[in-house]
């Protein structure tokens, strides 16, 4: 399966991704118009290789080398805030989702996932392998969605370039 990435999105990624990640994308992809066409398997490999660092803030700031090793306490006294997308970005995401749902209804496509399908998607989110799931609020930090609602819609998917569901 092939995946199309907009060149503008790749250029924006330069702000928070290492140069090697961008170079790796261009190396295996083919530019067609305003998109970079890349095999999903290559994209997944590159994404996993250059996965955004999820620094364990508590461990990184631990002062005591004889600490118990648990990460449920905070030596430094502060926890970094979770950064959700801006309100405008989340509104755009919601509008896009509503548009796709309306299109599904009009075209007679499936609108909702079954309970089993929804649970599979939700389980993937809750494992937090990507590092973007906020278990306290049951929300995705990447797109800002409330996962239990987004996973119900058949035409919605994980916001990562390598879709986990």
User: Chain-centre distance of CA 108, in angstroms?
Assistant: 29
**Count of alpha carbons within 13 angstroms of residue 135, beta-carbon side:** 8
Total-model pTM: 0.53
Tell me the pLDDT of the chain (165 aa) as tens digits. Answer: 888 888 888 887 777 678 888 899 899 999 998 888 988 888 888 877 876 544 343 344 344 444 444 444 433 333 445 788 889 999 999 999 999 999 999 999 999 999 999 999 999 999 887 888 899 999 999 899 999 999 999 999 998 887 888
Tell the residue number behind the tokens 């979770």, with chain if given: 82
Ranges of H-type helices in the chain: 7-13, 19-28, 40-49, 57-60, 87-107, 115-127, 147-150
Give domain limits for the chain.
2-52, 54-80, 87-150
């Amino acid at each position: 399966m092939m995946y199309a990435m907009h060149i503008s999105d790749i250029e924006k990624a330069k702000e928070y991704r290492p140069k090697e990640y961008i170079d790796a994308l261009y190396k295996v992809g083919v530019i067609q118009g305003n998109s970079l066409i890349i095999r999903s398997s290559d994209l997944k490999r590159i994404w996993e290789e250059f996965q955004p660092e999820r620094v364990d803030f508590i461990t990184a700031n631990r002062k005591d080398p004889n600490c118990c090793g648990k990460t449920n306490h905070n030596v430094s006294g502060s926890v970094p805030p979770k950064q959700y997308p801006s309100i405008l970005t989340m509104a755009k995401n919601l509008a896009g989702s509503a548009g796709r749902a309306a299109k599904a209804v009009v075209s007679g496509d499936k609108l909702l996932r079954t309970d089993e399908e929804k649970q599979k998607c939700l389980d993937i989110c809750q494992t937090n392998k990507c590092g973007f799931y906020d278990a306290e609020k049951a929300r995705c930090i990447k797109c800002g969605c409330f996962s239990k609602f987004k996973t119900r819609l058949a035409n919605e998917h994980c916001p990562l370039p390598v879709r986990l569901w």
